[in-house]
Amino acid sequence: MRAALLRSALPAGLVALDFDGTLAPISPRPDDARPLDGVQQILRAVRATGATLAIVTGRSVASLLRVSGFAAVPGIIIYGIHGAERWQAGALCTAAVPPGLDELRASLPGLLASIGPDLWLEDKKLSLVVHARLTADPDRALAMLRAPVEQAAAAAGLVVRPGREVLEICIPGIDKGTAIRELMSADTAAAFYAGDDLGDLPAIREVNAWAERSGRPALTVGIGRGPVAGQADVTVPDPQGLLSMLRQILRST
């Protein structure tokens, strides 16, 4: 029933999706990630309904385009770094680079080296990400790092956003919820959002709040058994399960 309601409203609807863990399996190295087979076809089918289609990711836009090939999907909108970047039709708009990041770029490698050899720092230009996925015990490594990283980030006027085996130092006041608010309009007839990690919770809350205010159909989907599962309307086991759900919605009449 809900799938049919969403499908009927898609010509004026919003479909927004995370990437890693949602359209692509999680990879220890971000540059190794690739979308599942069939993802581009489904995205094109969503756009063909007339819906607004957006990818809202923690990656930079450049990183997402490099591994996904989504630039070839007509009309797609991409929000990178949790909403700090917006890309559409080849045009990129970005937030200002936080001045405190330069100091952290210089100081964090020494801190990581003091904890363990397999920690590494990803530089997204507008944020820095501490990766612990390659360590023997990611939870322990991040527990040791969280307090000093949060202290250093706060001193630089930044915040720390935990994720799946990562800590991301980022601009305060910008998250995936702000991206959803920008994508919504008075004419939005339905909304669909899917994600798998802590960073997706603001987007899920925004979609659910919009649905309650407007009385219009919406569906939020959590992928896997992570932190999103208890907050989304429904849960699917993996990215393949999400693709199956999207196919069902597109088939509904």
Predicted local distance difference test score (pLDDT) of residue 5 = 72
- Average pLDDT value for the chain: 93
Same-domain pairing of 68 and 191: yes
Last residue within a domain, chosen from 143, 170, 197: 170
- What does the radius of gyration of the chain's CA atoms come to, in whole angstroms? 18
Question: How many distinct structural domains can be found in the chain?
Answer: 2
Between vectors from CA 22 to CA 19 and to CA 25, what angle results, nearest 5°? 90
| CATH number, domain with residue 116 | 3.30.70.1020
Would the pLDDT of 21 be above 60? yes
Kindly state the average pLDDT of the residues 8-17. Answer: 93
Confidence of residue 191 (pLDDT cuts 50, 70, 90): very high
Confidence of residue 1 (pLDDT cuts 50, 70, 90): low
Same-domain pairing of 14 and 139: no
Same-domain pairing of 244 and 192: yes
Predicted local distance difference test score (pLDDT) of residue 86 = 98
Model confidence over 101-146: pLDDT tens digits? 988 999 999 989 888 789 999 999 999 999 998 898 999 999 999 9
Buried b (16+ CB within 10 A) or exposed e, 188-223: bbbbbbbbbbbbbbbbbbbbbebbeeeebbbbbbbb
Same-domain pairing of 19 and 108: no
Same-domain pairing of 134 and 165: yes
Q: Which domain holds residue 215?
A: 2-95+174-251
Last residue within a domain, chosen from 170, 190, 213: 170
Query: And the tokens for 94?
Result: 């970005």
Model confidence over 23-61: pLDDT tens digits? 999 988 889 999 999 999 999 999 999 999 999 999 999
Same-domain pairing of 43 and 151: no
Q: Do residues 55 and 66 lie in contact, with contact meaning Cβ atoms separated by under 8 Å?
A: no
Same-domain pairing of 84 and 53: yes
Q: Do residues 53 and 15 lie in contact, with contact meaning Cβ atoms separated by under 8 Å?
A: yes
Same-domain pairing of 40 and 159: no
Same-domain pairing of 53 and 121: no
Predicted local distance difference test score (pLDDT) of residue 3 = 72
Query: And the tokens for 244?
Result: 């199956």
| CATH number, domain with residue 16 | 3.40.50.1000
Same-domain pairing of 121 and 165: yes
Same-domain pairing of 19 and 141: no
Confidence of residue 221 (pLDDT cuts 50, 70, 90): very high
Q: pTM (2 decimals)?
A: 0.89
Same-domain pairing of 164 and 179: no
Predicted local distance difference test score (pLDDT) of residue 98 = 85
Predicted local distance difference test score (pLDDT) of residue 153 = 94
- State percent of the chain over pLDDT 90: 80
Last residue within a domain, chosen from 139, 170, 201: 170
Helix axes 39-48, 239-251, angle to 10 degrees: 30
Model confidence over 66-115: pLDDT tens digits? 999 999 999 999 999 999 999 999 999 999 988 889 889 999 999 898 88
Would the pLDDT of 4 be above 80? no
